Chain A
Amino acid sequence: EAGVAQSPRYKIIEKRQSVAFWCNPISGHATLYWYQQILGQGPKLLIQFQNNGVVDDSQLPKDRFSAERLKGVDSTLKIQPAKLEDSAVYLCASSTHRDPNYGYTFGSGTRLTVV
């Protein structure tokens, strides 16, 4: 099966600019996650979708970050305006089973540099 697709692979923007990341999960995976991974740290959950509904966005900085999954398939994460501390890898993951024994499948991520 095809993996989790993310684009772009790399992005460099100036602070206060806007940026958007796209994710296409594995076909049939109802659950989609966006994680932020700062260099040298573990991934931090930003938002979790179940189909097109938000399950958990408690750690999403809603003043500048937004995410949507309108048709319950692919998803977009947006940052507006970006800050220097947003420099990180943004990882998308998906899963199909409610059984955590199956784990997540992560995409390769988008590496964002804010200058």
Chain B
Amino acid sequence: GQSLEQPSEVTAVEGAIVQINCTYQTSGFYGLSWYQQHDGGAPTFLSYNGLDGLEETGRFSSFLSRSDSYGYLLLQELQMKDSASYFCAVGRNYGQNFVFGPGTRLSVLP
């Protein structure tokens, strides 16, 4: 089976940097994705790490360490609109489907 762990809540102020961690246990690990979901909205794809290391996309970066079964999402220059839930998801079946973590609710304060 698969299990993923994320902090349930994180709070930060505008302009700050925040890191959301994800640890996982799974067989047949293929890669790690991150999704953002605003209240009442659909999850939207942020990033994917298939290899160890850091991937950067604008203000967001994502990191993966396969040997540690660990990844994180780094959000820089936080804005109020970043307040949302963030889910890590492990890819299996050669990345054909993903198992989602429980999610981290990020609150950005003025």
Q: Spell out A's residues near B (CB within 8 Å).
A: 4, 31, 33, 35, 40-45, 48, 50, 55-56, 91, 93, 98-109
Contacts and interface: CB of A to CB of B under 8 A. Distances in A.
Interface residues on B, range: 20 to 34
Contacts of B100: 35, 42-44
Contacts of A99: 95
> What secondary structure prevails in chain B residues at the interface with A?
strand
A50 B42 CA distance: 22
B83 interface: no
A108 B91 CA distance: 22
Contacts of B42: 4, 91, 106-109
Nearest to A56: B97
Nearest to A104: B45
Nearest to B101: A42
B95 A98 contact: yes
